[in-house]
Chains A and B, each alone.
Chain A
Amino acid sequence: MILHTICPLEDVLEQENKKNDKKLTMEINGVKLIVEESGVNEYEIIQLISSDPQHFLDTRYQPGEKLTMKPLLPSAT
């Protein structure tokens, strides 16, 4: 890997003390969301990944919104 960046490499590659990262990427209605587990079967939207600007106006996908769901597959964590 060759990095071409203005950030000092020691800053980019510095490892923090590993926190319990509960972030997941999931797709709902064709929209990619990065969510974080915030309770039992409850997830909070952290980031929305889409190239369609209209998705960013949709209140359902706004960061901070909570999703409640039953995972069909056992969760990765």
Chain B
Amino acid sequence: MTDEQTDFEQEQQETEQQKTMMNDIQNLGETKIPQAAPSNIHCLTIVGQIEGHMALPPKNKTTKYEHLIPQLVAVEQNDQIEGLLIILNTVGGDVEAGLAIAEMVSTLSKPTVSLVLGGGHSIGVPIAVASNYSFIAESATMTIHPVRLTGLVISVPSTFEYLDKMQDRVTKFVVRNSNISEEKFKELMFSQGNLARDIGTNVVGKDAVKYGLIDELGGLGQALSKLNELIEEHKGHNREQKVVQ
């Protein structure tokens, strides 16, 4: 390569840099700030209502399905991301969107750890148990209660059957992805006298672990160290596989 060529290339690079700098000034009002090293752990926060097929009125704080799904795909696809931490503080929401997120999390090939803080209610339960390992803060609670129907009821038997099927999707997923038995989960779901306006049970941190719904009591520190441990295991496993191949 001649000096002229490298000079030309350098010049081009410089103008390119200037261009991006100009863009940054125009877009962000400042030049590029040195970026922190990318994190090998990504974090999904699931807060407020889980929004699905219908946009909820603006006063609801929502976690949008269309925001989460591409992030989950990126986590799976990006080699630099080694693990996913899911933080939940949700009151529930759309059944289909909740189950979709839960399925995406449970089928992710990278290590996942979830942490329930404050509340992981209703459809938040399947998302909490979808990860490889789940934590709940001691003060956090999870409300387990049946799915209810809103809107028009045309025929009672078929509506009941439909609702039962919807309920089954949630129950089956939770039972499949945690250590709780179907009987216990249903018992909690249909127990009376625990909730003021509904049947069901409000399960507090320690009890969630006792019932096998959640793996361990803990907070951010425990969740991150568990995730790092799983990442190391996952790496070791991958290496072994390569050797076998």
Contacts and interface: CB of A to CB of B under 8 A. Distances in A.
B28 A60 contact: yes
Contacts of A58: 33, 35-36
Nearest to B97: A1
Interface string A13-39: 111100101000000100010000000
Contacts of B52: 1
B111 interface: no
Contacts of A74: none
Given A32-B67, A66-B29, A69-B26, A52 B49 contact: no
A4 B57 contact: no
Contact of A4 (B33, B35, B37, B122): B122
A2 B94 contact: yes
B59 A51 contact: no
A68 B28 CA distance: 6
Contacts of B170: 4
A21 B38 CA distance: 34
B154 interface: no
B21 interface: no
Given A2-B147, A9-B150, A16-B57, A54 B41 contact: no
A1 B94 contact: yes
B91 A6 contact: yes
Contacts of A8: 197
Interface of A: 1-9, 12-16, 19, 21, 28, 32, 49-54, 57-60, 66-70
Given A6-B122, A28-B27, 20 more contacts: A1-B54, A1-B96, A2-B94, A2-B96, A2-B149, A2-B166, A3-B92, A5-B121, A12-B49, A14-B57, A19-B58, A21-B58, A53-B41, A54-B37, A54-B38, A58-B33, A68-B26, A69-B26, A69-B27, A70-B26
